[in-house]
Structure 1
Amino acid sequence: MKLVVEIVDAHDLMPKDGKGSASPFVEVDFQNQLSKTKTIPKNLNPVWNQKLLFDLDETKNRHHQSIEVSVYNERRPIPGRNFLGRTRIPCSNVVKKGDEVYQTFQLEKKWFFSTVKGEIGLKIYTSLESKAPPLPSPSQPPPSNIPPETSASSSSLPTITHIAENTGRDCRTLAALPRAEILHTSEAITEQPGKKISAISETSGGFPAKEPKNSNKEPTKIRADTTQHVHKHQVLQKTSQSVEKLPNGAPYTMHAANPSAHSSDLDDFNLKDTDPQLGERWPSGGAYGGRGWMNGERYASTYDLVEQVSYLYVRIVKAKDLPSSSITASCDPYVEVKLGNYKGRTRHFEKKMNPEWNQVFAFSKDRIQSSVLEVFVKDKEMVGRDDYLGRVVFDLNEVPTRVPPDSPLAPQWYRLEDRRGEGKVRGEIMLAVWMGTQADEAFPDAWHSDAASVYGEGVLNIRSKVYVSPKLWYLRVNVIEAQDVVPSDRSRLPEVFVKVQVGNQVLRTKIHPTRTANPLWNEDLVFVVAEPFEEQLFLTVEDRLTPLKDDVLGKISVPLNIFEKRLDHRPVHSRWFNLEKYGFGVLEADRRKELKFSSRIHLRVCLEGGYHVMDESTMYISDQRPTARQLWKQPVGILEVGILGAQGLLPMKMKDGRGSTDAYCVAKYGQKWVRTRTIVDTFNPKWNEQYTWEVYDPCTVITLGVFDNCHLGGGEKPTAANAARDLRIGKVRIRLSTLEAYRTYTHSYPLLVLHPLGVKKMGELQLAVRFTTLSLANMIYVYGHPLLPKMHYLHPFTVNQVDNLRYQAMNIVAVRLGRAEPPLRKEVVEYMLDVDSHTWSMRRSKANFFRIMSLVSGLFSMSHWFGDICQWRNPITSVLVHILFLILIWYPELILPTLFLYMFLIGIWNYRFRPRHPPHMDTKLSWAEAVHPDELDEEFDTFPTSKSHDIVRMRYDRLRGVAGRIQTVVGDIATQGERFQSLLSWRDPRATSLFIVFCLCAAVVLYVTPFRVVALVAGLYYLRHPRFRSKLPSVPSNFFKRLPARTDSLL
């Protein structure tokens, strides 16, 4: 693997030769490998277009590697060089060949007193291409600009420095000295290729580091109870159910018998502490409580947030020399694995004497009811019973135990026995049997005994999977002008507009205000596209004949992969495109004339990589990184979530005349989606699956949802009108900034769903969550950084554009994830992304209003207290307030120190009462307990409304649209106020710690600084010139916007 650093150009360099110019060259240092470009004489804006190649070690963690690019001035005639500037680029942002884009980097100082200005343009990427280095010449002297010790040491290396004098030639680098470094698995956080997700693994010492194949996909399972526990909310929900008349497989809709009684028990809706045995008996280290550091790297176990479950694994590899049938002279073999009452069978092969299956069967140790494992080989018959070919019997007491990081157990050949076990028969089978855990790499794709009733394609729909959202881009189409537009009616000038379509997205420009054949628009149209680019940009120039009729004058169709990708606001080159004629009037003669004369359109099209494409609500955003990987920062933490199981789920459908639930859990954070395996026919499923995410910003939210799998039979067509839909059971949201670092949270979250008859508890979800910070300095830096990439502030979108682009992004994500196998279905994606979060709801409006009233109540209390002071209802308090007032009058410099010191003391005092649990869905805050049925009917009404009368429908829809905007504004006001409260409430421990430390520092600084100086500085700063202002928000504004609010607890 090669690292390619293409030095393109530099701009506005500092003159160093005493004559207002410089002779610059670039030197690149990567992992002790040095390489330089040629020197451009007397040029402050040089252009090199030169590639430098370096050896890249893929086994090392890129987060700890960087590329240092330095610009020097070559002194002549006296040999030497002057420093012009440098920049460091982290290797974690390096992309593969084909995804590279031109980037400009501001040159930085090397020393405090250095004088540096200008910027350098680079392209950095990795390539698999490798060219043979030039043979060293014995007479070739070392370069003059390399120190003698470097030149002397380089003579013993296999390659030497080769400086290209031609801009089209590549540059060779000095080979780095070999290093004997053995990386322990616990010291590396490896990134899986193509998924942008990380897995943390731990192995015992002495084993080489090995990247697990499915380290983020390994589901787990714990002992299933044979007794179904009945929870209080299940009893309340079941009293009004009538399930006898529902057809088999029909959705099972629950209705509350007594909503007031159900809502009166508030404890049923609260978060509950749990005490699972996390990391019990795990051989790879077990639980460590979130603390453990070796050599600056985290020492963790992959499965320390779940419970260990033992399984009996049977791997059927192949068979040979099987006997043939006397009738067909061949056989259709398959294997049946029997353990007590459980039977699993492989697929059968037609007329094959030496079949290969390579299938794995997993039997839970807690459900083993026999001491003997039997493996039968049979011949499938079309009519009658299948023929018996032989068997192999194993005593479970003799089965070996294997746990990672042990190597996989090698399969062996076994001679088949007859039915009675008295002698051998013809044929052999290769298989392996061992006892393992859910950490075994064979677990995800194994056939499980608890899902024996699932068959066909349904087997694929119950497995755990990891999905990655498609890489989304904003496509900006700037329609500038058109020339020589010819209407179909030559007697009139056209009223021209442009319509642009990308996939299902259609936008159009305004109609040109004047009739002309050379219209000018200069309008921007923005679309959402996803890699790989499958759609094309289809553009038509149309003439408005009547309000209901348009005439197409020309069209073009362009693939998206030809357009330039940009990372900042630099201008993109525009292009002219010839318009093709449209309709039945296009003749061969017209096509021949197109080369001589054609209408043209002027466009400026680019793919925006500096924006973050939002596909989820901004209140619950889980990722804020820009599209271009080159702009990503290093991760600041690791999020680990153990999905233990669920308790007390309600029946969601009818199966065999009784209620049933086939539950699975979906978690979404950033670009990574995870789906646990489906636990069939149980109200208390146990998953015990652990997943890991890299955290780039702690002020984000992870969303987990539980769903009922309605596709276990296989063969469903999702496009059919009557296709089954996975039913939602509930959802949980956790904001990472509310979690204490290194602490493991184990709680049972209520699964609440709002129905037309009221709020309903569908069960509880048991989770183990741990947030680990990698760098405290980076974490503190993030709190002062803008929430979104800088392009959102330098060139922001309008509110209507943001809503429309988010809707289009959600549709693209749903379509792409629906193509996976098994698919993550559209109803699941929409529920996880809160597709209906902006619809009108009287209940949400009331909740936001009372959030504001809760904030204003503090001001009312203060006003009432001050009124009591004025009325002397408490003389002692009134005297103390008067004395304090006189002191502040005589010593005004004590006002601000006293205020900040008072807030510091309040923050310290509130530390004792800080929240100990993560936030959860609050039915009282959501105003879901006493909601009026008519308001719920309005909330669940379709949009547009399903009311019959046309006039009522028109007024009703208009009212809902206006009220929805008011609802959003009211919610934003409430959020800002709640963020003020969270400054000292320890809801976000890092933010509160920073704020109270700031208060203490401010109290000290303002105490020792004269008040007049402070007032002067504050006034001058407030009235500063616009040249000294920035379009980016200030650090206090960024800090304030990152503070948590109670929006996470809203339904």
Structure 2
Amino acid sequence: MDKEVTTTAAPFSMQSMQPMQPVQSVTPQVHHSHQEDYNVKDTNPQLGEQWPRDGAFGGREWMIGDERFTSTYDLVEQMFYLYVRVLKARNLPSSAITASCDPYVEVKLGNYKGRTKHFDKKLNPEWNQVFAFSKERIHSSILEVFVKDKEMMGRDDYLGRVVFDLNEVTTRVPPDSPLAPLWYRLEDRRGEGKVRGDIMLAVWMGIQADEAFSEAWHSDASTVYGEGVFNIRSKVYVSPKLWYLRVNVIEAQDVIPSDRNRLPEVFVKAQVGCQVLRTKICPTRTTTPIWKEDLVFVVAEPFEEQLSLTVEDRVHPSKDEVLGKINLPLSIFEKRLDHRPVHSRWFNLEKFGFGVLEADRRKELKFSSRVHLRVCLEGGYHVMDESTMYISDQRPTARQLWKQPIGILEVGILGAQGLLPMKMKDGRGSTDAYCVAKYGQKWVRTRTILDTFSPKWNEQYTWEVYDPCTVITLGVFDNCHLGGGGKANGGSAPVRDSRIGKVRIRLSTLEAHRIYAHSCPLLVLDPHGVKKMGELQLAVRFATLSMVNMFSIYGHPLLPKMHYLHPFTTNQVDTLRYQAINIVALRLGRAEPPLRKEVVEYMLDVDSHMWSMRRSKANFLRIMSLVSGFLILGQWFSDVCNWKNPVTSVLVHILFLILIWYPELILPTLFLYMFLISLWNYGFRPRYPPHMDPQLSWAEVVNPDELDEEFDTFPTSKRHDTVRMRYDRLRSVAGRIQTVVGDVATQGERFQSLLSWRDPRATSIFVVFSFCAAVMLYTTPFRVVALVAGLYYLRHPTFRSKLPSVPINFFKRLPARTDGLL
């Protein structure tokens, strides 16, 4: 927010946000709409026929153990394309001026033109490029293929052409074999005679399941040239295999400081890539320090970094002196798959000579000190590179520990509707959208559809499922890397693909073998508020391979065994997850086309752990919604006890008497009641997968300053008065949380004080009461005791007092440890 905030800190409140002013046309407008605009909607797409998938979209069959699963291309709409494969040319004529030829091919269909790269001084070039023209946009019956000679200055020379009548083009549908290319003789400009040279082409009509689809130049992106062409293609990515590198620093020997008159304060610093960890300073000043500390890193296979380890002396609080160092390649360490121990090893340290007289020998390496380490690569864990709330893969790193898949997830990314303009192009709003889906180690990226607010992708992908309690995440982005440049608006800031929205689907909420064809809202929260950016149209099917394995997985531990045998601390989990996200983003950013860092971080919810007043309110309301069920039950029981409805109270008394007379019916009645409730709720079961809910997220009525605080940098970049106001507000919220936690602790301490004799009189009363109760319960049948207690609580209001009961008064007088707080 630009204006200065001068209000004082307000207590924790649920006030609604005032309507905001409209923003510029290049910024998505705020939607002040009703809740139904954020709901999932049914769609009726014309899904394709049962075509076996082939080529770039995966194999046609999945063999999982003894099970055979046939994957069909039936979750997307049919899209026909005219494919032109330009392979090579021969015997091209050379220019009379330059005595050479720089050939390229131009494929023209109506107003669309595609062009291959050109070769310098080559009469027999080989291109092997494919062009795809959408049948929906074909407004011509003639396809022309031109061969031209590129001139550095002036107009390119015409070498010849080949003309095709589209009515004569053959149709090919996978799994048919690829169409065989043919040599065609080049014609002159008027088509009246042959010219020198031949070109090899293959022309056919196909669908998006064609193996040439992903690598083809598309007419939908006819305005993109150069490096931008690589950024519009659909691709499948595989995230790197991550391992935990555990470095157990045991001890060191012969650690000699430069000042031999003092004993060193030694610690060990380990570094892998950008990850740096330190041990504590050895509590004893000695030349043979002992630590026995674990340092855990995240590393990716193939291992490119080395473990750099230095032993340092804390000479001064602001100065550390290196006593020895060593660099170790990660490939020499053992890969541990289970909890079996790892053997330790001694490593010699390289260190520099000391002393003033040895200044000329600073670069001379000596081997004297050594360090004792136990290092291993642990693959029995699952390296969490995503939020634990939306985890998509719970398998350990080591493939040897994987079990058989239990199902297949198929997702058809159909398209989007109603997208908002994300940038300015030629003086008007424009959006170049693509979709990214992530599940397990497999990431997919659709092709980019240029300059449209209703893109149609119609691409289908498949994943193996090992646990139904996982989440697939789909995000839509605006491609800002089509010009081939790396800076935004000609400035120094790098270009970043803009977020349009995200959808999560938990697989356990899907019915098996059912096709969900829905339109999910794309919601984004920014400093201006929650915005509906459009809708993503999907077709999802979860096919189970074995219902027995599906149900049995619910009884297995959520994470691999090593997470329970050797658990990490909360701080370690947060740090390792952050490092894992950085490694995944770095590796995927090296692909072609790259899956950029901003995309990976958005898909993996890198900022989910950051403080937010909005999230705190949302979580508070979630707790209140859970407690409200018990409050409603308590209010109903209070109405029964107060005889608000005499008929209900009489029925409860009858049920109570039956259960007391036949106590063996209590548990069967309870389970029967839950069974009947479940049957009743079956008719009201959710029809759609869960989606982003702005009301649940407390995003529609959030305070504008709280949004500004949520999107502030860390550390903050705001003015001191704004930070002070927010700090005071945070203190007020934290004070309420502190009070609630203190109240819970007080009640627990009162229970403890019953037998601790902190209050001798209260404990004496409780001891006497306990003895009398024990004698009475021993001599009185339990049925009579339960009957008397139940009738007492269900007594008529005439026999009730408005004052608190004796047990409550007694309990509230018990001491707690609050008296000892400062």
Normalised TM-score (structure 1): 0.65
Would the aligned equivalents of 2:50 and 2:72 in 1 still touch at CA under 8 Å? no
Structure 2 residue runs without a partner (length 5+): 1-18, 55-61, 745-781, 784-822
Return the match for 1:495 from 265, 271, 280.
Answer: 265
Pick closer, same or farther for the CA change 1:823–1:960 going to 2, 3 Å. farther
Q: Give the stretch that moved more between structures: 951-960 or 773-782.
A: 951-960
Give distance in 1, aligned partners of 2:421 and 2:580. 33
C-alpha displacement of 1:614: 0.6
> Which position in structure 2 is the counterpart of 1:800?
571
> Which position in structure 2 is the counterpart of 1:898?
669
Q: Does 1:881 align with 2:652?
A: yes
C-alpha displacement of 1:253: 2.4
C-alpha displacement of 1:300: 3.8
> Which position in structure 2 is the counterpart of 1:1025?
none
> What residue identity is the alignment partner of 1:909?
W
Give distance in 1, aligned partners of 2:85 and 2:615. 54
> Which position in structure 2 is the counterpart of 1:344?
114
Give distance in 2, aligned partners of 1:293 and 1:577. 47
> Which position in structure 2 is the counterpart of 1:267?
36
C-alpha displacement of 1:568: 1.2
> Which position in structure 2 is the counterpart of 1:811?
582
C-alpha displacement of 1:834: 0.4
Q: What SS does structure 2 have at the residue aligned with 1:581?
A: strand
Would the aligned equivalents of 2:501 and 2:523 in 1 still touch at CA under 8 Å? yes
C-alpha displacement of 1:835: 0.7
Pick closer, same or farther for the CA change 1:584–1:441 going to 2, 3 Å. farther
Give distance in 1, aligned partners of 2:737 and 2:359. 56
C-alpha displacement of 1:599: 1.2
Would the aligned equivalents of 1:840 and 1:963 in 2 still touch at CA under 8 Å? no
Return the match for 1:872 from 621, 643, 646.
Answer: 643
> Which position in structure 1 is the counterpart of 2:692?
921
For each residue in 1:971-990, what CA deviation from the matched residue of structure 2 results, as whole angstroms up to 9, or x when unmatched? xx9xxxxxxxxxxxxxxxxx
Would the aligned equivalents of 1:945 and 1:957 in 2 still touch at CA under 8 Å? no
Pick closer, same or farther for the CA change 1:591–1:391 going to 2, 3 Å. closer
C-alpha displacement of 1:964: 14
C-alpha displacement of 1:951: 11
Pick closer, same or farther for the CA change 1:284–1:796 going to 2, 3 Å. closer
Q: What percent identity do the matched residue pairs reach?
A: 81
> Which position in structure 2 is the counterpart of 1:37?
none
Q: Does 1:445 align with 2:215?
A: yes
Return the match for 2:296 from 516, 526, 533.
Answer: 526
For each residue in 1:592-638, what CA deviation from the matched residue of structure 2 results, as whole angstroms up to 9, or x when unmatched? 9946xx11111000111111111111000000001111111111111
Would the aligned equivalents of 1:567 and 1:609 in 2 still touch at CA under 8 Å? yes
C-alpha displacement of 1:642: 0.3
> Which position in structure 2 is the counterpart of 1:682?
452
Q: Does 1:764 align with 2:497?
A: no
Q: What SS does structure 2 have at the residue aligned with 1:454?
A: coil
> Which position in structure 1 is the counterpart of 2:592?
821
For each residue in 1:862-906, what CA deviation from the matched residue of structure 2 results, as whole angstroms up to 9, or x when unmatched? 111111211222222212211111111121111111111111121
Task: Within 5 Å, give how 1:261-660 maps onto structure 2.
Answer: 262-280=31-49, 282=51, 297=67, 300-582=70-352, 594=366, 598-660=368-430
Give distance in 2, aligned partners of 1:435 and 1:593. 69
> What residue identity is the alignment partner of 1:362?
A
> What residue identity is the alignment partner of 2:714?
F
Q: Give the stretch that moved more between structures: 826-835 or 773-782.
A: 773-782
Q: What SS does structure 2 have at the residue aligned with 1:896?
A: helix
C-alpha displacement of 1:254: 3.1
Give distance in 2, aligned partners of 1:284 and 1:698. 24
Would the aligned equivalents of 2:52 and 2:175 in 1 still touch at CA under 8 Å? no
Would the aligned equivalents of 2:352 and 2:363 in 1 still touch at CA under 8 Å? no
Q: Does 1:253 align with 2:27?
A: yes
Pick closer, same or farther for the CA change 1:863–1:959 going to 2, 3 Å. closer
Give distance in 2, aligned partners of 1:350 and 1:525. 56
Pick closer, same or farther for the CA change 1:833–1:411 going to 2, 3 Å. same
> What residue identity is the alignment partner of 2:28?
M
Would the aligned equivalents of 2:497 and 2:598 in 1 still touch at CA under 8 Å? yes
Pick closer, same or farther for the CA change 1:512–1:308 going to 2, 3 Å. same
What is the aligned residue count? 715
> Which position in structure 1 is the counterpart of 2:768?
none
C-alpha displacement of 1:760: 0.5
> Which position in structure 1 is the counterpart of 2:482?
712
> What residue identity is the alignment partner of 2:404?
Q
> What residue identity is the alignment partner of 1:253?
T
Pick closer, same or farther for the CA change 1:804–1:517 going to 2, 3 Å. same
> What residue identity is the alignment partner of 2:609?
H
Would the aligned equivalents of 2:258 and 2:354 in 1 still touch at CA under 8 Å? no
Q: Give the stretch that moved more between structures: 763-772 or 856-865.
A: 856-865
Normalised TM-score (structure 2): 0.83
Give distance in 2, aligned partners of 1:386 and 1:629. 56
Would the aligned equivalents of 1:841 and 1:964 in 2 still touch at CA under 8 Å? no
Q: What SS does structure 2 have at the residue aligned with 1:704?
A: strand
C-alpha displacement of 1:240: 3.8
Structure 1 residue runs without a partner (length 5+): 1-236, 244-251, 257-261, 286-291, 974-1010, 1013-1051
Pick closer, same or farther for the CA change 1:264–1:403 going to 2, 3 Å. closer
C-alpha displacement of 1:514: 1.6
> Which position in structure 2 is the counterpart of 1:734?
505
Give distance in 2, aligned partners of 1:960 and 1:808. 31
Would the aligned equivalents of 2:107 and 2:146 in 1 still touch at CA under 8 Å? yes
> Which position in structure 2 is the counterpart of 1:220?
none
For each residue in 1:261-305, what CA deviation from the matched residue of structure 2 results, as whole angstroms up to 9, or x when unmatched? x434222111111010112485889xxxxxx99998455443110
> What residue identity is the alignment partner of 1:266?
Q
Q: What SS does structure 1 have at the residue aligned with 2:444?
A: strand
> Which position in structure 2 is the counterpart of 1:937?
708
Give distance in 1, aligned partners of 2:217 and 2:76. 21
Would the aligned equivalents of 2:64 and 2:405 in 1 still touch at CA under 8 Å? no
Pick closer, same or farther for the CA change 1:563–1:299 going to 2, 3 Å. closer
Q: What SS does structure 2 have at the residue aligned with 1:369?
A: coil
Return the match for 1:701 from 461, 468, 471.
Answer: 471
Give distance in 2, aligned partners of 1:593 and 1:436. 67
Would the aligned equivalents of 1:868 and 1:874 in 2 still touch at CA under 8 Å? yes
Would the aligned equivalents of 2:353 and 2:361 in 1 still touch at CA under 8 Å? no
Q: Give the stretch that moved more between structures: 939-948 or 842-851.
A: 939-948
Pick closer, same or farther for the CA change 1:954–1:390 going to 2, 3 Å. same
Give distance in 2, aligned partners of 1:311 and 1:514. 75
Would the aligned equivalents of 1:945 and 1:956 in 2 still touch at CA under 8 Å? no
Pick closer, same or farther for the CA change 1:951–1:431 going to 2, 3 Å. closer
Give distance in 2, aligned partners of 1:280 and 1:941. 50
Give distance in 1, aligned partners of 2:440 and 2:476. 18
Give distance in 1, aligned partners of 2:632 and 2:519. 36
Give distance in 2, aligned partners of 1:294 and 1:525. 38
Give distance in 2, aligned partners of 1:712 and 1:502. 35
Give distance in 1, aligned partners of 2:84 and 2:500. 34
For each residue in 1:554-597, what CA deviation from the matched residue of structure 2 results, as whole angstroms up to 9, or x when unmatched? 111111110011111111100011111147867898999946xx
Would the aligned equivalents of 2:407 and 2:542 in 1 still touch at CA under 8 Å? yes
Would the aligned equivalents of 2:353 and 2:362 in 1 still touch at CA under 8 Å? no
> Which position in structure 2 is the counterpart of 1:289?
none
Give distance in 2, aligned partners of 1:304 and 1:832. 27
Would the aligned equivalents of 1:641 and 1:769 in 2 still touch at CA under 8 Å? yes
Pick closer, same or farther for the CA change 1:366–1:282 going to 2, 3 Å. farther
Give distance in 2, aligned partners of 1:486 and 1:711. 55
Q: Give the stretch that moved more between structures: 950-959 or 903-912.
A: 950-959
Q: What SS does structure 1 have at the residue aligned with 2:350?
A: coil
> What residue identity is the alignment partner of 2:293?
E
> Which position in structure 2 is the counterpart of 1:833?
604
Give distance in 2, aligned partners of 1:926 and 1:820. 35
Give distance in 2, aligned partners of 1:868 and 1:282. 62
Q: Give the stretch that moved more between structures: 705-714 or 838-847.
A: 838-847
Would the aligned equivalents of 1:499 and 1:541 in 2 still touch at CA under 8 Å? yes
Would the aligned equivalents of 1:742 and 1:772 in 2 still touch at CA under 8 Å? yes
Would the aligned equivalents of 2:268 and 2:309 in 1 still touch at CA under 8 Å? yes
